Structure 1
Amino acid sequence: MIKTALGATAKWIAGESGWLVLLAVAGVGAWLYVQFAQVRADRDNAIHVAEIICAGIGTGFAPSVSQEPDAKGKLVTVAHARGALCQRRASDLADFKARTDEATAATLAKALQDHDARQNSDSAAARASADAARAAAERMETADAKAARTNIVDHEWFAAVNGVAGLRAPDR
């Protein structure tokens, strides 16, 4: 019974093979049509995005013609393919950004070095000022002790007072 059913099915398929091939080709064709529609939509979307980007950087995406100097400096007419001017402008902007970033980094590095140098010199000046104030206070204590012992205020005491006040000692 199975042999009979399989034999009958094989005969029917052999007799209708033309229609079956046509159905298979139609199915593949429909699948390819749907795929091509998706490819077309993706292409149209990519072109639309490219046009928006090009408009954003100040150029067009369409093919164009421009006058440019040749190697000798003479103006010649140059035909540009679709997106060529946009690509050149985007490349120029990327180069500008890279140069600007490099210059900014160099400027910041120089500013940091200058800041560190000023901070180091300010720290050294503050240390020297603190040492001078400490030494002036010690000289004042010594001069006060001497003045209290001798009950005389002399030029050393005045020099110590001037030192505490941050003034230079009088010339002799």
Structure 2
Amino acid sequence: MSFPVKVKNVNIGINDASRGEIAEGLSRLLADTYSLYLKTHNFHWNVTGPMFQTLHLMFETQYTELALAVDLIAERIRALGYPAPGTYSEYAKLSSIPETPGVPKAKEMIQLLVEGQETLVRTARSIFPLVDAVNDEPSADLLTQRMQVHEKTAWMLRSLLEE
């Protein structure tokens, strides 16, 4: 995906081509984050069973954190001089997190959210070589923070699946 539009005269010490590649990677991270936000919010609304209260509150905490992350990622893309994707169709093309049809049981919801959190870690990690190569410390900091959050959340969700 190559961005057709960019802000002119961005001179932050990173060349245009590198900024474009990083913006593309961050756009994938944005799409994955928004997709996981939607999935988590859906599960918050529709979870049932003996762990309802615990999962309902946990999922709310998680989707709230994801909503804040979406803004941070989009703003970093803008700071690099590119438009942030913001439509369902763009996210569908960019995201590696599949939609979940229907309403799964609570345990399956947890497993699907673990997979989503781990996907976000892998997406963030895949962008690191690009930002490292051009000393893009703000993007590296954002990616590090996102990986920490998603690794911890995946661990907490996995803990619920243990017998």
| TM-score for the superposition, normalised by structure 1 | 0.24
Which structure is larger by alpha-carbon Rg, 1 or 2?
Answer: 1
| TM-score for the superposition, normalised by structure 2 | 0.25
| Higher fraction of strand | 1
Bigger relative CO (Cα 8 Å, ≥ 6 apart): 2
